[in-house]
Structure 1
Amino acid sequence: MQQGWRFELSEGSMTSTRGRSFGRRRRDRRGRGLRGRIMVPPLPGARTRAEHFDDLVVESADRLQDIWGGSLDRVQFAVDEIPGALEELVALGQPAPMASLRPAEANGPATITVYRRPIAQITDSDEEMREVVHDSVVEQVAVLLNLTPESVDPTYGRTRRF
């Protein structure tokens, strides 16, 4: 008997199990079952680095919202991987920005964009990344409100090493 073929006597026809899709199989080729998730979603290890970074930006924005209240109602926070004109900045020898501010237009909100890759490259730990993200957001809010960063958040720059 050939391996991989199964002969059945149903109305005189032969059927093959080779043609079934992987999704319809109940086991993988070694018979151990399909692989599941390594970490279940409620555990911290199940989140990606990008999702963790998004959480840091939201945490920083919430903290400033608690401090300033209505002044930041028309401010939108965003996360992007890299700044748009990064090639020109590198060609000129300038450092990549950590965040940027787009002022409010006619009926639209002001947008503060935090860049994930430049911040991830200069930080060594999660705690350091949290501090740099918060300081970057505070700097942009200070520009928006025309204040000093220390007056926007008293904890600004206390642990900065660079």
Structure 2
Amino acid sequence: MPAPLPEPRRGSVRERRGRGPRGPAFLPGPLTPAGVPADRSRRERFDRIVGSVAAELEQRWGEHLGGAQFAVEETPWLPDDWASDVVPLAALAPATPTTPTRIVLFRRPLEHRADGPVDLAALVHAVLVEQIAELLGVPVEEIDPRYGDD
């Protein structure tokens, strides 16, 4: 009778000490100092999109924004008696004596409406333009003349 087969190995050799994935596909290197883009989480990718769009708009409108902060939340908090079928994509929180004005983008609803990374970046741009226009009390076309061109 032949000897029984050994149990199959579970997990990777690298994982046995809990250090996570290793190697050029995951770690920063000379060609990828910030790491490999595929290694970033959805939250990190979304934050990068918001950061780049906000920086572009802040460069042009920064002196009018009065130190407004940009923030990202996963989902909006909706009261139990919320009756609308529409979930907000962003919120504008006016300044108080202790906090500056905040423009908050809601990641999950925005990602849900986008068809891909390019569409998500365009949607984030459109939502930020709308929020800045509301904050400044000007038409969205004044913030970005390309708004609405599809």
Give the alignment's TM-score, normalised by structure 1: 0.71
Q: Is 1:119 aligned to residue 110 of structure 2?
A: yes
**Counterparts of 1:147 and 1:34, CA distance in 2:** 56
**Count of residue correspondences:** 129
* Distance of 2:81 and 2:146 partners within structure 1: 33
Cα distance in 2 for partners of 1:86, 1:158 equals 35
The equivalent position to 1:76 in structure 2, one of 66, 69, 77, is 69
Kindly indicate which of the two structures has a greater share of residues assigned to strand. 1
Query: In the alignment, what sits opposite 1:46?
Result: 39
Supply the RMSD in Å over aligned alpha carbons.
2.1
Match of 1:3 in 2: none
- Give CA-to-partner distance per residue, 1:88-146, whole Å, 9 cap, x none: 43xx1331011000011114210000001111111111000001111111111111000
Letter of the structure 1 residue corresponding to residue 71 of structure 2: A
Matches for 1:130-149 after TM superposition, within 5 Å: 130-149=121-140
Structure (1 or 2) with the larger CA radius of gyration: 1
Q: Would the aligned equivalents of 2:74 and 2:108 in 1 still touch at CA under 8 Å?
A: yes
1:34 aligns with 2:14: yes
What secondary structure does 1:95 align onto? coil
Q: 1:87 to 1:156 in 2, by over 3 A?
A: farther
Structure 1 residue ranges without an equivalent (≥5): 1-28
Q: Secondary structure at the match of 2:96?
A: coil
After TM superposition, give the deviation of residue 86 of structure 1 in Å: 6.3
Contact preservation (8 Å) 1:100, 1:113: yes
Distance 2:124 2:79 in 1: 19
Tell me the residue number matched to 2:99. 108
**Contact 1:86 / 1:96 at 8 angstroms: preserved in 2?**
no
Which aligned segments of 4 or more residues in structure 1 are displaced greater than 6 angstroms? none
Aligned partner (choices 61, 64, 77) of residue 57 of structure 2: 64
